[in-house]
Amino acid sequence: MSATANNPASTTASNPTPSAVRAGHRPGRRMNVTLWVVQALTAAFFLVSAAPKLVAHPSATVVFDKIGFGDWFMYLVGILELAGAIALLVPLLAGLAGLAFIGLMVGAFITQLTVMDGKNAATPVIVAVVVGFVAWGRRGRTTELFGRLRRR
């Protein structure tokens, strides 16, 4: 038996390395299903969260007025949440969306502590952990995405 048959990650001219191996990580079947469920639920959460911001619902405008950045910031956050929710459902973008949402949740946490009363500060932390799980689970696809961008 050849070395290639014993080691599927090895490369030869006739047996190129599969993209998942090149990317560094591919989740197993159970993990993949779990990630898809978490991604779908998280995308739904962010779609519901974006809606009041995008339609300037009074509940959202009051909060963003208190933050002090005005309506433009409310619309920006709504657009970012909508774009991220869509990206969570695109296989190649899901890990990057998870990373971006971690950043958004850090900002939400800081805002909760500094501008709001802090009683809801745990929510962005919990959401950051969930999207962090997605980012970690989809890290192979994120590596693949960056590899594709580097080749251009």
Q: For the residues of 73-103, what is the DSSP string, one character each?
A: HHHHHHHHHHHHHHHHTSTTTHHHHHHHHHH
Asked which of 14-18, 79-83, 135-139 is least confident by mean pLDDT, the reply is: 14-18
Using CA atoms, how far apart are residues 152 and 133, in angstroms rounded to an integer?
A: 29
The span from the CA of 114 to the CA of 109, in Å, is 9
Is the per-residue pLDDT at 90 higher than 70? yes
What percentage of the chain exceeds 70 in pLDDT?
A: 84
Instruction: Label residue 26 by pLDDT band (50, 70, 90).
Output: confident
- Token pair recorded at residue 6: 């014993």
Secondary structure class of 112 (helix, strand, coil): helix
Mean pLDDT of 79-105: 98
Residue 24 is predicted with a pLDDT of: 64
